[in-house]
């Protein structure tokens, strides 16, 4: 998890509370990721949590002394870095904090929070925290405990009381059973925390995004494609979601997992992508065409594998031009009236500014994003050139996640 990916957390003060559960090992990974992201992390553990992870480990990962008892007499440091020696850690630890994150949050601790019980440092701290400091819970428990009506009632009431309760994961559990109730993975919780702090500049908007390469079949085992990894499009989908947008992602074949919270429609060919876009674009306010769509396809794909016959002759391929998806959408009534905002991408190998400007005018889109394809395909970073009717703006090389956030901010300025 690179620093730039999580730059929104730089300077944030996070109080990480840990309750008892095998998922405590994920809290160690989460703590390390938060620190790498630039956040200051103060760990507070219940007695049960120390049975699964030692305070020494969490101190090493956070770089701060860990608190485990309300009777601990060491000075507590508030969010401003002030050390306060008044034996009131339950008060001081959340002053100046940006969030209190409980991970793992056990069923017992969630029930305790619901009833306002405060018989240890962590529950005392949650009860005494300022109202403006968000309380975020990452549940972790056995599938039957999670499904129990009492836990579901508690979860609903905690949300009503203002807590942010994250989803649970599904899969193998430490007890040997399989189902819901696992704590989310560290990177998933980190993503949810980033989303929490991201300004919702596109709240209420709906976006349709294309990403990745298309694949045009020559025969059942061969085809024509390109080097696009889909990383830029997937990063934009996540950034749009974090900004409050409802996102549908039409994705060609990639090695990437579907972003959590994003409706992903897998496709293969350019024609598949066109059909998926046409089926969903009427519900969108924003259309972003990041996919590297093949300009041509074999005119007649063979029904069986084309084999060598030993003669030395090579097969002749004829091509048909694929429909231009971006141009088709940009020429629609909704796009021309301004109710659908279209953004195109241009992956060039040379003369980026000239080609990007020409493509924007040719396809009649308000914003065209250009990049040098060979310098970005498959990589985790990129550099972008934004081209609109007023001129150009460079977004210097950075992680694709960071560039996606910058691009979302630019889109929000233009449509709001």
Q: Which residues are catalytic?
A: 175
Beta-sheet strand order (sheet of 381-388): 263-266, 246-251, 206-211, 286-289, 341-348, 367-372, 381-388, 391-399
Tokens 């141009």 locate to: 327
The torsion angles phi and psi of 7, rounded to 5 degrees, stand at -60, -20
User: Which residues touch 22 (CB under 8 Å, ≥6 apart)?
Assistant: 52, 140, 174
Which residues touch 149 (CB under 8 Å, ≥6 apart)?
A: none
Q: How far apart are alpha carbons 361 and 374 in whole angstroms?
A: 24
What does the alpha-carbon distance between residue 350 and residue 84 come to, in Å, rounded to a whole number? 60
Identify the three-state secondary structure at position 309. Answer: coil
Contact partners, residue 358, CB within 8 Å, separation at least 6: none
Tokens representing 369? 């994003």
Reference 189, options 27, 53, 399; nearest CA is 27
6 near 32, Cβ under 8 Å?
no
* Of 100, 108, 101, residue with least CA distance to 151: 108
Do residues 232 and 211 touch, judged by C-beta distance below 8 A? yes
Nearest to 252 by CA among 271, 235, 266, 233: 266
Going by their DSSP bridges, the two strands 99-105 and 135-139 should be labelled as parallel
Secondary structure (3-state) at 96: coil
């Amino acid at each position: 998890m690179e620093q730039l990916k999580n730059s929104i957390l730089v300077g944030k003060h996070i109080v990480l509370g840990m309750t008892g559960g095998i998922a405590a090992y994920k809290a160690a990974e989460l703590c390390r990721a938060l620190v790498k992201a630039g956040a200051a992390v103060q760990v507070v553990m219940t007695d049960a949590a120390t049975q699964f992870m030692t305070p020494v480990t969490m101190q090493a990962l956070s770089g701060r002394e860990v608190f485990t008892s309300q009777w601990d007499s060491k000075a507590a440091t508030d969010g401003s870095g002030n050390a306060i020696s008044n034996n009131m850690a339950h008060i001081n630890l959340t002053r100046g904090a940006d969030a209190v994150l409980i991970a793992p949050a056990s069923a017992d601790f969630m029930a305790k929070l619901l009833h306002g019980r405060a018989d240890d440092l962590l529950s005392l701290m949650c009860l005494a925290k300022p109202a403006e400091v968000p309380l975020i819970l990452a549940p972790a428990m056995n599938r039957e405990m999670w499904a129990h009506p009492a836990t579901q009632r508690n979860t609903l009431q905690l949300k009503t009381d203002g807590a942010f309760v994250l989803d649970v994961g599904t899969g193998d559990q430490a007890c040997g059973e399989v189902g819901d109730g696992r704590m989310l993975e560290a990177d998933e919780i980190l993503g949810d925390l980033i989303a929490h702090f991201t300004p919702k500049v596109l709240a209420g908007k709906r976006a349709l995004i294309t990403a990745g390469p298309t694949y045009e079949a020559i025969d059942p085992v061969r085809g024509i494609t390109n080097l696009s990894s889909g990383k830029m499009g997937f990063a934009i989908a996540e950034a749009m979601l974090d900004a409050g947008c409802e996102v549908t992602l039409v994705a060609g074949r990639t090695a990437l997992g579907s972003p959590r919270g994003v409706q992903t429609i897998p496709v293969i060919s350019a024609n598949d992508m066109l059909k998926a876009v046409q089926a969903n674009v009427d519900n969108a306010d924003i259309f972003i065409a990041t996919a590297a769509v093949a300009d041509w396809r074999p005119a007649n794909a063979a029904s069986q594998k084309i084999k060598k016959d030993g003669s030395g002759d090579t097969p002749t391929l004829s091509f048909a031009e694929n429909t231009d998806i971006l141009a088709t959408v940009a020429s629609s009534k909704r796009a021309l009236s301004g109710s659908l905002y279209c953004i195109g991408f241009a992956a060039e190998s040379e003369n980026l500014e000239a080609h990007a400007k020409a493509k924007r005018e040719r396809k009649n889109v308000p914003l065209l994003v250009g990049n040098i394809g060979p310098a970005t395909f498959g990589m985790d970073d990129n550099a972008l050139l934004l081209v609109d009717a007023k001129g150009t703006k460079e977004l210097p090389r950075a992680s694709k996640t960071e560039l996606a956030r910058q691009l979302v901010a630019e889109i929000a300025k233009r449509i709001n």
